Amino acid sequence: MAASFDVPPTAGLPLQAGDLWPGGDADLEGALARFLGFESAQLECSGTAALVVALTALKQLAPARREVIVPAYTCPLVALAVAHCGLVLRLCDLQPDSLDLDPGALAALCGPQTLAVLPTHLAGRVADVATALACAHAAGAWVIEDAAQALGARTGATAVGLQGDIGFYSLAVGKGLTIFEGGVLVARDAALRAACRAASRATVPASRAWELRRSLELLGYAALYRPAGLRWAYGAPLRRALARGDWVEAAGDDFSLRIPLHRPGRWRRAVGVQALQRLPAFLAEGAQRAARRRERLARIPGITVLADSPAAPGAAGTWPVLLLLLPDQARRDAVLRGHWGAGLGLGLPFVHALPDYPQYAGAVPPAAAGALPHARSLAARLLAVSNSPWLDEARFEQVCALLAPPGPSVARTSLN
């Protein structure tokens, strides 16, 4: 039975009335650069658009290179961005029970046709970038860090997204800071920064229609992203999708093949500047809450809590959700079938490995049944638990009870 209100699937930063007041500082690029500890940041209309701009810039710098290597388990929008740019997608398997690219598989894929490699900091977990840099640079290619879900994560003193040649972040709903849809692009090299800005000027038009739509959607987010509103804005559509048995729609994986490109307007930029002031405290509170809950979840037999990559020393990710690996797909699916629509913050990052979405076959190369075993195993066993502050302790204990198998508890530790 659904609860009296719905916990959001991720911990997004709620907006306050003062954020919406027009006429404030609209230099969101400057504010983000200061937040990241970097000299500049480039604002785009979405994380996907930021990736399109980055790939367009690299394509112009190396027109003979056509291949983009991505994790076989990642957001389908990555594949759509590669296809939008007329490039060739290459799928790399993961390490077992990990979000890191498999080094052997990556080395075998990199070659003279490789344009870019995309290590991905999924759900705020810090991934291994050093291996991607070594393989890509040895082949003369670039590394684009997909930090769409990891704004604010760090490796030591360096913001995630700044280790690769280019990095991008998403400002979409549920990603922490949001202007409903937005993207941020950074590049370490001055020449790459110039190429990205030139690519944006050449390919991204202004659109009053899109900006009006996004502004109205942002107002809707400000009004409804709270416990009472989420039952209508999120919970009801989720339960309708689940009633149809459509897990792809329920997870939000049903993306349009068309990627909107436009420029964020002044008002939304100003909203972002105001909200960004509260983001560090919000992320710190989320990290503390996640630390307590990781310890509790790791005591449940058969549950592995994914942490930051051991190949990223000093990593401190963000925690919009907690990612759990269950022993097998049957146990994971049983939890989802019984409780996904109950308002407890359960869900999936993505339903399938990329080649297993029929609707994206035009953008993703096929893979044989035995190929990409680790990515497909991860997709089959992964479960997300929201780290929203609205998932109170009573509901969190309810989640733990749902995850626990019959029998005595056995302590275990999470991956470090």
Please report the domains of the chain, with CATH numbers, ordered by start residue.
Answer: 17-203 (3.40.640.10), 279-403 (3.90.1150.10)
Rounded Cα gap, residues 390 and 7, in angstroms: 6
Check whether 381 has a pLDDT greater than 50.
Answer: yes
The token pair that represents 4 in the structure block:
């009296």
CA-to-CA dists, residue 230 to 14, 44, 227, 237, angstroms: 12, 27, 5, 10
Alpha-carbon span 157 to 166, nearest angstrom:
18
Looking at residue 135, its pLDDT comes to 98
- Per the CB < 8 A criterion, the answer to whether 8 and 211 are in contact is no
The pLDDT mean for the chain works out to 95
Mean pLDDT of 160-182: 96
Tokens of 11: 């911990």
The residues that bridge with 158 in the sheet, in sequence order, are 155
CB 263 within 8 A of CB 206: yes
User: What residues does 316 pair with on adjacent strands?
Assistant: 154
Condensed to tens digits (0 to 9), the pLDDT of residues 318-371 reads 999 999 999 999 999 999 999 999 999 999 999 999 999 999 999 999 999 999
User: 344-360 in b/e burial notation, b at 16+ Cβ within 10 A?
Assistant: bbbbbbbbbbbbbbeeb
pLDDT at 174 exceeding the cut of 90: no
Q: How far apart are CA 235 and CA 225, in angstroms?
A: 12
Residue at token pair 């190396």: 62
- DSSP string computed for 187-256: ESSHHHHHHHHHHHHHH----HHHHHHHHHHHHHHHHHSSHHHHIIIIIHHHHHHHHTT-HHHHTT----
CA separation for the pair 35, 24 (Å, rounded): 18
State the average pLDDT over residues 280-294: 98
Q: pTM for the whole thing? A: 0.95
Percent of the chain with pLDDT strictly greater than 70: 97
Q: What is the arithmetic mean of pLDDT over 254-280?
A: 97
The CA distance from 50 to 42, in Å, is: 9
* Residue 380: its H or E element: helix 373-381
Q: Show the tokens assigned to 205.
A: 């038009």
